[in-house]
């Protein structure tokens, strides 16, 4: 493999506190050197990208891949294509496939299938309960031994507090996090939008926003009781964030992520029954959106995940209350996050930390850094380049983006996996 030399770039590595102009040399698939000015090795490929940012490949800590069982929505190959276009080189795959990832052999299979793509490292979550049904714990120890990075039932909350207590205690014994879809199942049952004036006007069954905070409060108490580590996924309300902030101040092993829809869109995006904007949890009022955006900057939120939930046309071409919730998010993860930099004052280094070092730390991965000797998983992007999201023209199979028509600034110019260019 020929050496690759990046020159005239802004080197941005939040894990190392690095933000400087300079050059970076890739040799044998690894980062060999970086600095203000590097000489050009004989035969090296030179990529001069003045004004562009070179950062670690993005680490997406929450995505469904569709495979196994839902290949009509997405496949590992199509998801890898979309991820590469979005600058993502490492991805944590949810276990809510068919069959669920509750068997060690399936954990190893997902890892191997990621390697086969040549562009994406897949870090599998193990199912928290058998079949992700919320009835009895899966074999957490065997799943962890096979390579599961954490345990979750994906988009299903654990209704039983007793079962959740056991889950946190057992996972703690294996030094693993439990990742929670924070939504009280009884309150959310049958709902399609956040309960309030808009849902009433549209005649949609509502889900009270308090359903999120109620489960967050319960599981914080259980984390305190067991000493276990709990991670709240796609947090979307101010009330839940306040509880998480307080738990962190207390020193509990509590972390959280959110997804771009919850800081870029509010509930009005469902418009005239626009099913592409039907998500789980549902979009919230503007006050909650602003609270999520503020929590990105103040450190309450540890990571931004794509929350990629592929759906096909038949899943969405239904009356709003019957349509499947979920949005495609791989190709838009960086661009929508950068909208907070351009329009809301979020520091670029903080935004990239939420997409690299933050999720890598939570997943126990050595990705998300530009350290010398690290694999050359890289994302090169033009922070001010404008583009428009267009459903039907996104890379990959899933086109159900809630951001259809959204104008963005920040385009991926190239993605490298272990020194090999896989996009751009």
Task: State the catalytic residues.
Answer: 307
* Residues 6+ away with beta carbon under 8 Å from 265: 277, 283, 289, 402, 403
What is the rounded (10 degree) CA torsion for 283, 286, 287, 288? 20
Indicate the DSSP class of residue 57. P
Which residues touch 312 (CB under 8 Å, ≥6 apart)? 72, 73, 398, 400
CA proximity to 341, closest of 266, 263, 244, 406: 263
Which residues are registered as beta bridge partners of 257?
303
Instruction: Report the Cα 273 to chain-centroid distance in Å.
Output: 26
Question: Is there a cis peptide before residue 281, judged by omega within 30 degrees of 0?
Answer: yes
Q: CA nearest 24: which of 372, 366, 412?
A: 372
- Any idea what the Cα angle at residue 96 is, between residues 217 and 268, rounded to 5°? 60
């Amino acid at each position: 493999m020929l050496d690759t030399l990046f020159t005239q770039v802004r080197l941005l590595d939040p894990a190392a506190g690095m933000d400087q102009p300079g050059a970076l040399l890739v040799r044998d698939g690894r980062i060999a050197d970086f600095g203000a000015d590097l000489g050009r090795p004989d035969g090296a490929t030179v990529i001069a990208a003045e004004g562009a940012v070179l950062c670690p490949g993005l680490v997406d800590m929450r995505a469904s891949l569709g495979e196994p069982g839902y290949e009509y929505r997405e496949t590992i190959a199509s998801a890898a294509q979309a991820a590469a276009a979005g600058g993502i080189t490492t991805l944590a795959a949810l276990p809510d496939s068919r069959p669920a990832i509750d068997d060690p052999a399936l954990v190893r299979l997902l890892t191997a299938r990621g390697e086969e793509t040549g562009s994406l490292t897949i870090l599998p979550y193990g199912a928290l309960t058998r079949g992700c049904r919320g009835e009895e714990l899966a074999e957490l120890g065997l799943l962890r031994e096979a390579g599961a990075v954490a345990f979750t039932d994906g988009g299903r909350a654990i209704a039983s507090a007793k079962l959740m207590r056991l889950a946190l205690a057992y996972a703690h014994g294996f030094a693993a996090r439990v990742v929670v879809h924070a939504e009280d199942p009884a309150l959310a049952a049958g709902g399609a939008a956040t309960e309030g004036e808009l849902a009433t006007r549209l005649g949609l069954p509502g889900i009270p926003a308090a359903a999120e905070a109620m489960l967050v409060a319960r599981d914080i108490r259980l984390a305190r009781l067991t000493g276990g580590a709990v991670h709240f996924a796609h947090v979307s309300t101010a009330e839940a964030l306040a509880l998480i902030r307080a738990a962190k101040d207390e020193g509990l092993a509590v972390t959280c992520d959110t997804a771009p829809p919850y800081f870029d869109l509010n509930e009005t995006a469902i418009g005239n029954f626009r099913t592409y904007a039907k998500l789980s949890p549902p979009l919230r009022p503007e006050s909650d959106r602003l609270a999520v955006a503020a929590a990105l900057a103040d450190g309450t939120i540890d990571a931004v995940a794509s929350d990629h939930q592929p759906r096909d046309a038949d899943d969405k071409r239904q009356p709003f209350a019957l349509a499947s919730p979920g949005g495609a998010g791989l190709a838009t993860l960086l661009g929508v996050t950068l909208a907070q930099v351009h329009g809301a004052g979020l520091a670029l280094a903080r935004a990239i930390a939420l997409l690299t070092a933050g999720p890598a730390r939570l997943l126990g991965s050595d990705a998300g850094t530009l350290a010398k000797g690290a694999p050359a998983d890289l994302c090169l992007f033009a922070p001010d380049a404008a583009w428009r999201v267009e459903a039907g023209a996104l890379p990959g199979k899933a086109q159900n983006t809630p951001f259809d028509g959204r104008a963005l600034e920040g385009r991926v110019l190239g993605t490298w996996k272990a020194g090999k260019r896989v996009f751009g």
